[in-house]
Amino acid sequence: MRRIHSWWVAVTADMRALAEDETGDVPGWVLVTLMTAGLVVLIWAVAGPALTGLFEQAISRVSGL
């Protein structure tokens, strides 16, 4: 029982220390989010027409139209 108690104390202390040290990096996350959105828009703009044509070709082959 003593081992479980000491383990629990250590785990809660580690969690408490982690929570206190974690201040977050909001500007970093904002930058990552904006860059990801930019990449999605860029890829969509470049590959969108090709993917649309590929999709329409596949549907026409399957449906026989």
DSSP secondary structure letter of residue 64: T
More confident residue, 51 or 8: 51
- pLDDT number for residue 35: 96
* Mean pLDDT, the chain, whole residue set: 84
The arithmetic mean of pLDDT across residues 34-61, rounded, is 94
pTM for the structure as a whole = 0.46
Q: Using CA atoms, how far apart are residues 12 and 38, in angstroms rounded to an integer?
A: 40
Domain that holds residue 42: 4-63
DSSP secondary structure letter of residue 40: H
- pLDDT number for residue 24: 67
Number of domains in the chain: 1
Q: Say yes or no to pLDDT of 33 above 80.
A: yes
Q: Using CA atoms, how far apart are residues 36 and 42, in angstroms rounded to an integer?
A: 10
- pLDDT number for residue 1: 72
